[in-house]
Amino acid sequence: MKQLSIKDLKQTLQTNNLQIIDTRLADFFELGFIKQSINLSLKITKGKNIGEIISIEKPTVLVCKPSTEKESIEHLNSFGLNNIIGIIFYDSSIQESINYDMVISISSEEAVLDSLHNPKAIVIDVRNEESFKTSALANTINIPISILAKKSKDLQFNQETIIYCTSGNTSMLACSYLKSVGFSNVKNVWGGFEAIKKEPKAQLV
């Protein structure tokens, strides 16, 4: 598998029919990533139905942490991604050389307060419907990750959008997808619903 240089990367990014998949853990990904990257973290199991967030048809650039390239290739393969055209090891030099983006993560306490007192924000639970019906944070809507790509067309690009899942990995996938299609104000909830339900002020339904 070819390791891409910064020059290679810039040339490759000029290709329209291309996707960038970043397998780093969410806490590293959020601090800086190549614009339009999708965070398919190694912690997201191959059995998860992520719908149309990724394409198995498009040529794919893999972004990963050094020494995880073999595991990352196998991870992408498990989701049906076999057309990997090159690898980038993400480091600070990339952020100095190309356009990059970041995701804001908020605490479970902040998410609870927003759900109660911030009418300008929409809070989205991306867990599956069964989990949502069992228990969820009040004043949230359920858009499972499996249908997020389809339902994103019904959301407002500039609205403050707060996303949580079970533990924080799938929500980062969701945040990165929404960012890649033009959403500008997306926030991830660290710790997900597991952290939210422990908050004293959380109103659960």
pLDDT in tens, 58-109: 999 999 999 999 999 999 999 999 999 999 999 877 888 888 999 999 999 9
CA 186 to chain centre: 10
Supply φ then ψ for residue 147, to 5 degrees: -120, 10
* 104-196: CATH topology: Oxidized Rhodanese; domain 1 (3.40.250)
* Total Cβ atoms within 10 A of residue 80: 12
- pLDDT computed for residue 6 by the predictor: 82
Q: Rounded to an integer, what distance in angstroms lies between the CA atom of residue 116 and that of residue 100? A: 33
For residue 141, the cross-strand partners are 124
pLDDT given at position 92: 76
Reply yes or no on whether the pLDDT at 1 is more than 80: no
At 28 the three-state DSSP class reads helix
Q: Where in the chain is the domain with CATH 3.40.250.10?
A: 6-101, 104-196
pLDDT for 97: 83
Assess if CATH 3.40.250.10 describes domain 6-101.
yes
Structure tokens at 157: 């690009």
Quick one: average pLDDT of 169-186? 97
SS3 105: strand
What pTM was computed for the model? 0.95
